[in-house]
Structure 1
Amino acid sequence: MKWSLNLGRVAGIKILVHWTFLILIGWIVFSEMRRGSDMTTTLLSVGFVLTIFVCVVLHELGHSLTARKFGIDTKMITLLPIGGVASLERMPSKPKQELLIAIAGPAVNVVIALLLYLVLPPMRELPSEDFFSPISSANFLYLLLFVNLMLVFFNAIPAFPMDGGRVLRALLAFKLGRVRATQIAANLGQLLAMFFVFIGFFYNPFLILIGIFVFFGAHSENIMVQHLDYLKGHRVREGMMTNFVALSPTDTVREALNKLLQGSEHEFVVEQEGQVTGTLTRAQLIEAVKNDQMQTPIADIMTTEVRTFDVQDKLSEAYAELQKNKVPLYPVLENGRLAGVINMDNITEFIMIKSALAQH
């Protein structure tokens, strides 16, 4: 994710914190200063939030390490002001696997809360409101126990992208199939999101942010699953472009610019006698023009490390790869030789045609 600070790796998974996280820390400091808190209380408040996000990282690691058991890797875990996001390479297609992965995160918070409960001295009576505010060394761990329980309950809400939405989808998928289960879970998630936004206007503006996040998360999940369903059983051959402009590695930047202006392509595959040698984008060409490289062979500026697909590969795999890496296009090979190219526009058009045909 752009504008994120790399904190390192845990279990081989990159941990990132988005720059907007600094806004949260700044708001906490500002709130404590406005309240008249001393430096100790302010630092404890900041430390408390940071400790919560350690628990959030552990929560996301619960998802990630469980997914790894099923052969699904995690690219990164990103910390945002509203929580953490584990970027799994793909979601499991089997309901049982998704159920276990979804439950693993909240299970970590249950374990943390249980350990704190066992370690902390038991309370003989219910604490008053004064006990919980402001944060102090006396209530720090008790509040952390409470927050971990809240994380469990919050994630139990049956709405994407919360864990409860994935649990609901997995349970429904046992009987209804993944597509119908996703539609039901997503629709419920969007209804809850609208409720959050409505309540947020009257009680807490933070709920508006959560509602927007949930609404679009549910919508994206629903669209993604529908698209993958349309692509099921189809091969890359069916969705690739065979009418395309290819360049030779000996072509100059000027010659490539002429082909850019003469056609509609913004990206080119570079090949020599049917063998793919690289790809070239419009951005690379423009950069070469700025550097006064008009007569330079494109072999000197093109991308040489190129992932390719075979005509017999699954079209859904190409779709997932394009979604994940945001690469402009991939060459498609048949018997090791260039047969076509595929990009997101082509797959989107393929999906649109399949969707239109399904309505008849």
Structure 2
Amino acid sequence: MKNSLLIGRLAGIRIFLHWTFLLLLSFIVLAEVRRGSSTGTVLASAGFVLALFACVVLHELGHSLMARRFGIGTRSITLLPIGGITAPERIPEKPRQELLVALAGPTLNVLLALVLYLFVAPVGAFEGIGLSHGTVGPGFLTALFWVNVMLVVFNAIPAFPMDGGRVLLALLALRLGRPKATAIAAGLGKLIAVGFVFYGLFNSPFLVFIGIFVYFGAYAENVTVQHRELLRDFTVGHAMITNYLTLAPTDSVQDAANTLLAGSDQDLIVLGQGKAVGVLTRPLLMAALRGNCLTTAVAEVMSREFDTVEISDSLAKVYARAQRQPNAFYPVLENHRLRGIIDQGNLTEFLTIRAALSH
């Protein structure tokens, strides 16, 4: 996610901190200072926020590790003021797998709550959950206990794409199939999200942000699933562009600029002996032009690191891959030879045509 700081790795998964999280932490510290709280109380409050988000990380890690059992990797976990966002490499294909992945996060919070209960119950700490006198003691641990309880309760709400909504989707998908189940779960999620927004406008602004996040999350995932269903029976060969422009490694940057002007392509493939050896993207070309490198060979400014797809690859899987890469552009290969290209633009055009034909 953009505007996020990499703070470490856990179980091989990158953990990012969004810049808005720092605003939240600063706001809490400033509020305590303005109330005249002691340094110990300020530090305890900041520490509690960090502990709270550690619980969120563990929640998201529960999802990730369960997904890993089914061969699904996780690219990253990002911490936001409203919680955590896990970025899986793909969506579980089987409803049972999705059900277990959805339940894994809340289950970890249940385990954390049970462990904390063992510490706070014997000392009667449930009478007050404040962070008094800046100490990290029973009050701190009790508050953390209730945080985990609330994370379980809140995530149980069947508002897709929250965990409760994903559980509902998985159960519906066992009977109805994923596309129809997603449409139902997303519709319910958007309805609940609207309820969050209206209630939050008069009671809690924080719920407004939650509602907006849930609404657009449900909408985006439903669109993605419906699109993948439209592409399910097609391969890359059905949608690739076969009329494309190419360059040779020895062509100059000026030649590349002229080629770009001659067609509608935004990115150009560099061919050497009939094979794709590089990609000259529009940003790379513009950078070379700004550097007045008109006579420089394309081989010196092109990117030699680029993703490719096979002509027989599933179009639905390539679409899902392209969704994670802005301005996706892939040379299409068959037996290591270039056969075409596929990018976000012609994927969208193919989808538009399939959607029109399906009605």
Q: TM-score range by the shorter chain?
A: over 0.9
Please give the alpha-carbon distance, in whole angstroms, between the structure 1 residues aligned to 2:125 and 2:336. 74
**Counterpart residue number, 1:132:** 130
Farther-moved stretch of structure 1 (333-342 vs 209-218): 333-342
How far residue 33 of structure 1 moved from its aligned partner, in angstroms, is 2.1
The equivalent residue for 2:44 is 44
The runs of 5 or more residues in structure 2 that have no matched partner are none
| Structure 1 counterpart of 2:172 | 172
Counterpart-to-counterpart distance in 2, 1:16 and 1:126: 33
Measured after TM superposition, the shift of residue 165 of structure 1 is 1.1
1:33-182 correspondence to structure 2 within 5 Å: 33-122=33-122, 127=127, 131-132=129-130, 134=132, 136=135, 137-182=137-182
Pick which of 236-245 and 302-311 moved more.
Answer: 302-311
Query: Residues 124 and 116 (structure 1 numbering): CA distance in 2 closer, same or farther, change over 3 Å?
Result: closer
Q: In structure 2, how many angstroms separate the alpha carbons of the residues matched to 1:27 and 1:70?
A: 40
Residue of structure 2 in register with 1:224 after alignment: 224
Over 3 Å counting, the alpha-carbon distance change for 1:84 and 1:125 in structure 2 is closer
CA contact under 8 A between 1:190 and 1:218: conserved in structure 2?
yes
Partner of 1:296: 296
Q: Deviations over 1:186-209 (max 9, x none)?
A: 000001111111011100111111
Q: Give the alignment's TM-score, normalised by structure 1.
A: 0.96
Could you tell me whether the CA contact under 8 Å between 1:52 and 1:147 is conserved in 2?
yes
Which stretch shifts more, 180-189 or 299-308?
A: 299-308
Cα distance in 1, alignment partners of residues 39 and 124 from structure 2: 31
Per-residue CA shift, 1:334-356, capped at 9, x if unaligned?
23211100001111111111111
One-letter amino acid matched to 2:290: K
Match of 1:239 in 2: 239
1:126 CA displacement = 6.3
Q: What is the CA distance between 1:31 and its match in structure 2? A: 1.6
Question: 1:253 aligns to what?
Answer: 253
Comparing 182-191 with 301-310, greater Cα deviation is found at: 301-310
1:277 is aligned to: 277
Q: Kindly tell me the number of residue pairs found equivalent between the two proteins.
A: 357
In the TM superposition, what whole-angstrom CA distance separates every residue of 1:264-316 from its partner, at most 9, and x where no partner exists?
A: 11111111232111111111111001212100111111111222111111111
Change in 2 beyond 3 A, CA 1:55/1:124: closer
TM-superposed CA distance for 1:325, in Å, is: 2.7
3-state DSSP of counterpart to 1:119 = helix
CA RMSD, 1 decimal: 1.5
Q: In 1, Cα distance between the equivalents of 2:126 and 2:49?
A: 24
Shift of 1:319: 0.9
More displaced 10-residue stretch of structure 1: 40-49 or 152-161: 152-161
The secondary structure found in structure 2 opposite 1:305 is coil
Greater shift after overlay, 275-284 or 323-332?
323-332
Task: Return the alpha-carbon distance in structure 2 between the equivalents of residues 123 and 182 of structure 1.
Answer: 46
CA contact (8 A) 1:309 1:331 kept: yes
8 A contact 1:7–1:16 mirrored in 2? yes
Q: Deviations over 1:160-197 (max 9, x none)?
A: 22111111100000001000100010000001111111
Output the CA distance in 1 between the equivalents of 2:125 and 2:104: 33
Identity of aligned residues (%): 53
Q: What amino acid is the match of 2:60?
A: E
Cα displacement string for residues 63-86 of structure 1 (whole angstroms, at most 9, x for unaligned residues) = 101100000001111111111111
AA paired with 2:84?
Answer: G
Equivalents in 2 of 1:96, 1:138: separation in Å? 39
Task: Tell me the distance in 2 between the aligned counterparts of 1:132 and 1:310.
Answer: 59
State the Cα distance separating 1:326 from its structure 2 match: 2.7
215-224 or 300-309, larger mean C-alpha shift: 300-309
Work out the CA distance in 2 between the residues paired with 1:185 and 1:248.
51
Q: C-alpha separation between the residues in 1 aligned to 2:199 and 2:11?
A: 40
Q: Where do 5+ consecutive residues of structure 1 fail to align?
A: none
Secondary structure in structure 2 of the residue aligned to 1:332: strand
